[in-house]
Structure 1
Amino acid sequence: MPIQELSLDENLLQIGTFLDQHNMNNNLQIPAYESIPFSLAAYEGEQYIGGVTGSMAWGLLYIRYLAVDPVYRGQGVGAKLLQAIEDQARQQGARISELTTMSWQAPHFYIKYGYVIFGEIKDIPIEGQSKIYLQKRL
């Protein structure tokens, strides 16, 4: 049984087929996994100053990236981006939002906007730092 490289798109297609079959065989009536992408950007005039990306499936919004130009931090841009992606996902049926952040990045930002920590991996990527998992009911 050789193991070899396969394009990400092709591998995801094949894996998805296996997972869908597995889910159907368990008679749980799990709906098909249909991902809805989100990609929003904030501008000051013509200048890009921040963005947020994520996707939603099964009523769960997963926020992948949120970043704001350092010049515009502390001015509410991140909060507006976060609210906008949550609102769009909610309109599509999202009930929960989930994300990860690193301890030196923005856990307090997300907590300020209603997220709660539900998991942490300590000493990643170095001792004294953590990967933090957060969620919020929408």
Structure 2
Amino acid sequence: MLEIVELDHQHNQREISRLLEEHSQRADHSIPPYEREELSLAAYEKGTFIGGITGDIVWNILNVHLLAVDPEYRGKGLGGELLQELEARARLRGCKVSELTTMSWQAPHFYQKQGYEIFGEIKDCPLQGHTKYYLKKNL
């Protein structure tokens, strides 16, 4: 009898990755293993957290997940420094491209100033008048 249950995220991700890996290897032996390396950087000033960035690397692609800077430090280049450092570390690990998503009220223009280009969008997401953007940058 089929049973669908909620499962711990990490355990479920491991099992799903295993199935995907088996499928990829059956389809094409030259496809590299599906391995995820997480990256997490934080900025501190005088012991106080003022910003951070997270991402992961899969198949030599940097996926930027979260980037935030304390309001008192915005507009001073910290966000760009965090992003550049994450990209530099990804390059050292063999990444050729970086990708991310952002919402229209968040930071599409910031990322474009950092060299990212929009390659897709979903209009009226999550509400009418807003847009979810998909961006990429060659590293």
What TM-score, normalized by structure 2, do the two folds share? 0.96
Are 1:23 and 2:24 an aligned pair?
A: yes
Equivalent position of 1:34 in the other structure: 35
Deviates more, 1:115-124 or 1:2-11: 2-11
Whole-angstrom distance in 1 between the partners of 2:91 and 2:6 = 37
Whole-angstrom distance in 1 between the partners of 2:91 and 2:51 = 21
Are 1:5 and 2:12 an aligned pair?
A: no
Q: C-alpha displacement at 1:2, in angstroms?
A: 2.2
Q: C-alpha displacement at 1:33, in angstroms?
A: 1.1
Whole-angstrom distance in 2 between the partners of 1:79 and 1:6 = 37
Query: 1:1-138 alignment to 2 at 5 Å?
Result: 1-138=2-139
Whole-angstrom distance in 2 between the partners of 1:37 and 1:5 = 24
Whole-angstrom distance in 2 between the partners of 1:134 and 1:15 = 26
Q: C-alpha displacement at 1:60, in angstroms?
A: 0.2
Partner-residue secondary structure (3-state), 1:36 = strand
User: Which 5+ residue runs of structure 2 have no aligned equivalent?
Assistant: none
Partner-residue secondary structure (3-state), 2:52 = strand
Point out 4+ residue stretches in structure 1 off by more than 6 angstroms: none
Whole-angstrom distance in 2 between the partners of 1:37 and 1:111 = 24
Whole-angstrom distance in 1 between the partners of 2:101 and 2:122 = 11
Q: C-alpha displacement at 1:95, in angstroms?
A: 0.4
What TM-score, normalized by structure 1, do the two folds share? 0.96
User: Which 5+ residue runs of structure 1 have no aligned equivalent?
Assistant: none
Identity %: 52
